[in-house]
Chains A and B, each alone.
Chain A
Amino acid sequence: MVAKAWADPDYRAWLLRDANSAIASVGYAGRQGEYIVVLENTPRRHNLVVCTLCSCYPWPVLGLPPVWYKSAPYRSRAVADPRGVLRDFGVELPADTEIRVWDSTAEVRYLVLPMQPEGSESWNEEALAELVTRDSMIGTGLPKRPGERI
């Protein structure tokens, strides 16, 4: 889905406009994913998703959440100190990148569309998919770079 958005500008626009339809078109739908909003990362803005209330997470696209997502340290600090939380994940963003934190509600589930890594511009969707990580779609990680590709 992320790779498809990187490779296909029309799909990307659809995903950002009407995530549920665009996601369903590639076969993902179900409980905990009834209303998904996709957040686009840009050089100026990095999006980070949390559920401070409990553990809301877009199951149909990401599976069940990891323990850290449900843990008190992540839920309490993501909104107060997002840069510090990102450092816990080994991620350091430029000082002038705005970090926007999205707190899930009872209904809305967020999914981050990470930036396409430099050097992968000519890759096809299948190759691009290898660069997408779960954490990059939560906002606690970045996609793999072309050199990191397995």
Chain B
Amino acid sequence: MTEGAHDMGGARGFGKVTPEANEPVFHAEWERRAFALTLAMATPGGWNIDMSRAAIPTPAKPTISTGSLHWNNWWRKKA
């Protein structure tokens, strides 16, 4: 089974993939800001990709499929 939000390959129960037609890059302004701030902080060495992965929280149940959650994770990484 999975450990945290990583190594998700082969896990069951998450349902179908649902592509969104004409999907925007960001679904809300705060997502854009979370992305920009996080990347900006990488330049002075604030984090690396392994720290970033480790900061992604463990899903309690299989409902973490929204884009908002993804960017929320980016935001939480900086906390």
A79 and B49 CA atoms in complex are apart in Å by 23
Closest to A103 in B: B9
Assuming the contacts A72-B59, A106-B49, asked whether A54 and B6 have C-beta atoms less than 8 A apart, the reply is: yes
Assuming the contacts A63-B25, A72-B65, asked whether A88 and B7 have C-beta atoms less than 8 A apart, the reply is: no
A75 and B62 CA atoms in complex are apart in Å by 12
Q: How large is the interface on B (under 10, 10 to 19, 20 to 34, 35 or more residues)?
A: 20 to 34
Total contacts A-B at CB 8 Å = 85
8 Å CB interface, B20-41 against A: 20, 23, 25, 27, 35, 39
| Residue picked from B2, B19, B20, most chain A C-beta under 10 Å | B19
Cβ contacts A63-87/B at 8 Å (1 or 0 each): 1101110111111111110000100
Residues of B within 8 A of A106 (CB): 49-50
Task: Identify 27 residue pairs between A and B in the complex whose beta-carbon atoms are under 8 Å apart, listed by A's number.
Answer: A53-B8, A64-B35, A66-B19, A67-B70, A68-B18, A68-B20, A70-B70, A71-B17, A71-B64, A71-B65, A72-B8, A72-B64, A73-B18, A75-B8, A76-B2, A76-B9, A76-B10, A76-B11, A76-B14, A77-B14, A79-B10, A80-B9, A80-B12, A89-B19, A103-B9, A106-B50, A140-B19
